[in-house]
Amino acid sequence: MQDAAVLHELTPVAEQLLERHLESAIEWFPHEVVPWERGNELRERGFGYRRDSVAPGVRSALMVNLLTEDNLPWYSRTLSRIFGSDSAWGEWGRRWTAEEGRHSIAMRDYVTISGLVDPSELEQARMAQVSSGLVPEPENAVDGMCYVAVQELATRVSHRNTGAALEDPAGYEVMMRLAADENKHHLFYRDLVTSLFKLNPSRAMESLSNQIRSFAMPGTGIPGFAEHARQIANEGIYDLSVHHDRIIEPLVTKQWAVDKVQGLSAAAEQARESLLKHVERLGKVANRMRERRQEAAE
């Protein structure tokens, strides 16, 4: 099935999901969640940041999560490339872009006023990343749906865990606003993939299997990304066990019940097998990590 045919068949679904999204939208304003009263303290410090304010892993998570939001122009470009800019597909892409833009506004104001990251380092990193234009580039609409369904959920969990690790009620509030939006984005794509499984189970299975087995979060254009990712994992904000327990396992076994899908081609059967093996391996690694962490804590 060609991409254009899939998009055409799924247009009524996209229309419904967009309508549901808009109906359930709750308007919120960055200026209402940013703790501006911290401005006096910031002025007294000479607008510097406080090196000891958060653990290195938490600072890395703030940097990476914010910089990832900052790279929005290129995600929008990808969405319009794979979904086009007409009908519900285009409308969704534009609405999504507007919502994502709010995330970097709220987060940047919060981290700056709270002195949690070095604002010069943050700006230099933003310039470097956005200038690089590096983003995940799913080849087509089907791969794109499968990738973002996973990625929006992963982003939700990452924002949420970052918020919890801040030990700051104002920061938690900001990050939970973002997480709530990411969840709604995830629901749009999750249900789109569910419909894709009904429309063309083989194509859905092959694509999902590829996307999950090769999954990587956006952010490779961020200076020092590998080191940030290591710090974030050390802090337990996002590591392989979070990835398995909170994202991949629930999606694959519960949400899309991959093991129960029927009517697959031989190639799709193989893709399913590879996917289930991958999830099992990921689960084993996650278990080992949990045990090691427990041992370290004891």
- Contact flag: residue 160 with Fe ion (CB under 5 A): no
Token pair 């995600």 in the structure block, residue: 75
Residue 167, Ramachandran bin (φ over 0: left; ψ between -120 and 50: alpha; else beta): left
Helix (H) or strand (E) holding 38: none
Residue appearing with tokens 């045990």: 291
Q: Which is nearer to Fe ion, 168 or 182 (CB)?
A: 182
| In the complex, least distance from residue 274 CB atom to Fe ion, rounded to whole angstroms | 28
Our CB check for Fe ion shows the closer of 5 and 98 to be: 98
Total residue count of the chain as it appears in this document: 298
182 binds Fe ion (CB under 5 A): yes
With respect to Fe ion, which residue has the nearer C-beta, 98 or 257? Answer: 98
103 counts as binding Fe ion under rule CB under 5 A: yes
Give the integer Cα–Cα distance in Å for 18 and 91: 8
Alpha helix ranges (H) inside 114-224: 119-132, 141-165, 169-199, 201-213
DSSP state of 217: -
Scanning 52-60, 74-82, 99-107, 266-274 for contacts with Fe ion by CB under 5 A, the matching segment is 99-107
The answer to whether 7 and 15 are in contact (CB under 8 A) is no
Interacting stretch for Fe ion, rule CB under 5 A, among 1-9, 68-76, 132-140, 243-251?
A: 68-76
Burial 232-270 (b: 16+ CB within 10 A, else e): bbebebbbebbbbbbbbbebbeeebebeebeebeeebee
Nearer to Fe ion, 129 or 200 (CB): 129
Smallest distance from the beta carbon of 78 to Fe ion, in angstroms? 13
Compare residues 69 and 70 and give the one whose CB is closer to Fe ion: 69
Least spacing, CB of residue 192 vs Fe ion, in Å: 14
Minimum distance, C-beta of residue 134 to Fe ion, in the bound complex (Å) = 17
Select from 10-18, 115-123, 184-192, 254-262 the region that touches Fe ion (CB under 5 A): 184-192
* Amino acid code (one letter) for 124: Q
Structure tokens at 53: 């304010």
Closest contact distance (angstroms) between CB of 183 and Fe ion is 9
- Tell me if 211 sits within 8 A of 119, measured CB to CB: no
Cβ proximity to Fe ion: between 69 and 206 the closer is: 69
Nearer to Fe ion, 168 or 181 (CB): 181
Q: Per CB under 5 A, does 70 bind Fe ion?
A: no
Question: Alpha helices, DSSP H only, in the chain?
Answer: 3-24, 30-33, 39-44, 56-70, 72-83, 87-113, 119-132, 141-165, 169-199, 201-213, 225-234, 240-242, 249, 266-297
Taking the complex as a whole, the smallest distance from the CB of residue 166 to Fe ion amounts, in Å, to 17
Q: Which of 126, 185, 190, 228 binds Fe ion (CB under 5 A)?
A: 185
When binding is defined by CB under 5 A, the residue of 17, 71, 88, 100 that contacts Fe ion is 100
Question: Applying CB under 5 A, does 243 fall inside the site for Fe ion?
Answer: no
From 24-32, 64-72, 85-93, 224-232, give the range in contact with Fe ion by CB under 5 A. Answer: 64-72
- In whole angstroms, the minimum distance from the beta carbon of 156 to Fe ion comes to 8
Residues that bind Fe ion (CB under 5 A): 69, 100, 103, 152, 182, 185
